[in-house]
Amino acid sequence: MYDLVLKNSKLIDENNEVYIGINDGKIAKISKSLFKGEKEIDLNGNLVLPGLIDPHVHFRDPGLTYKEDFKTGSMAAANGGFTFVMDMPNTVPKTNTYKAFKDKLKIANDKSVINFGLHAGVNSFEEMKKIQSLNPMSFKCFMDLLSDEELETVFKDVSNLDNNPILSLHAENKAIIKDNLKKLKNPNNENPAIDYSYVRSAESEIESVKQAIALSKNYGNNLHICHLSTKKSLELAISNNITYEFTPHHLLFDNSYFNEFGTIIRTNPPLRESDIKVNISDISEDSMIGTDHAPHSLEEKTKGIWDSASGIPSLETVLSLLLTEVNKSNLDLKLIPKIFSENVAKRFNLKNKGFIKEGYDADLTVIDLNKSGVFNTDNFYTKAEFSPFNGLEYVGAAVMTICNGKIVMENNEIYS
């Protein structure tokens, strides 16, 4: 007898429906033959995916919890089909000391309704060495905030840490941004919102990626590029065997959307011109999706081109957005578990996660490929009250999220 049996489940690589038995939070049995459980759920042929894993979220906890906290952020994640998220270190205080990292672990343990990991910020070699004992997902470097000298120190120090941990990069060039701002900023601060994309230009990202490659060749770093937005950066990453993430907004929007949404769509790196941006067609078997879920208050998003906050909340929209692309025949369904689960689990060394296999953790996402609707921010769990995807129609959605063998979301209702 199993704790839970999912009946009439469909797996992407199986023609026939299967039964999935769960015991003690693990996948205990997968079979085409009927077997019994204490609790049984008939999935009526809906697809079961490995639980979605997001390598890049900003839950703003501690210090900025009016924007989001680990409870609301993890509920939003569960509603979007995610069973594991990795939180970024730019909170208050920054998660770049042993104490701050340990404190955030406690906050997340107390509040999160799903599994999580934490990225650490970069700091002195001694402090990062102490943080390593707490198993950070990576060390995150915001290249746009550091001088060339400071960057070299970061790359050198991280490469000298035990086992050469992943160095995750926000790849934009500080000097290029500063120079573009000087050239483009109107003295009366009356620039159109689209100018933000020209100040933080494609060149800024591309040159930053080139700089990271040069530094890593010198120091042997283990690089991962966050929110990659240009085709040229993608070519550089692939040719240098560097892993990378795509966001839904960079894949689906170009910078002309500034004319419709204004500063609501401001994010770093910004949306790109249509001829140089990454597209759905650039998603491959090696890609991964990182939402860069970045909630703010509505007031912070509407302070004008130069003063508005940067970031877009995406946890509750991303899966449906890409399933819609599947239904439009723009994306192969078989890529969905790879880009949302398998590749992330492998890259960040998440044991027993990312795959539907006996003995693996029972982290599962059930999707209905035919479920249609319209995104409505009023129905979201995130504290963010805005989304450029609000009002868009979708086809395909998560209808159940199972984390550690427990149902945490069913038909958009969260069980926390």
Among 61, 69, 292, 368, the one annotated catalytic: 292
Give the span between the Cα atoms of 24 and 268, in whole angstroms: 41
Give the span between the Cα atoms of 76 and 414, in whole angstroms: 9
Give the span between the Cα atoms of 82 and 75, in whole angstroms: 9
DSSP secondary structure code for residue 382 in this structure:
S
Q: How would DSSP label each residue in 128-181?
A: HHHHHTT--S-EEEEGGGS-HHHHHHHHHHHHTSTT--EEEEE---HHHHHHHH
Radius of gyration for the chain, computed over Cα atoms and rounded to the nearest angstrom: 21
CA distances from 55 to 36, 58, 83, 138, 344 (A): 35, 10, 11, 10, 7
Asked if residues 45 and 8 have their Cβ atoms less than 8 Å apart, the reply is yes
Q: Evaluate the CA torsion angle 361, 363, 366, 369 in order and state its sign.
A: negative
Residue with tokens 């483009």: 184
The one-letter code for the residue type at 118 is: L
E-only strand ranges, 262-404: 364-374, 393-403
Asked if residues 321 and 85 have their Cβ atoms less than 8 Å apart, the reply is no
Quick one: which of 272, 255, 260, 108 has its CA closest to 194? 255
Could you tell me whether strands 139-142 and 166-170 are parallel, antiparallel, or unpaired per DSSP bridges?
parallel
Give the span between the Cα atoms of 123 and 130, in whole angstroms: 11
Residue with tokens 């042929």: 45
DSSP-derived 3-state class of residue 129: helix
Q: Is 3 a catalytic residue?
A: no
Asked if residues 220 and 164 have their Cβ atoms less than 8 Å apart, the reply is yes
Q: Which residues are known catalytic residues? A: 292
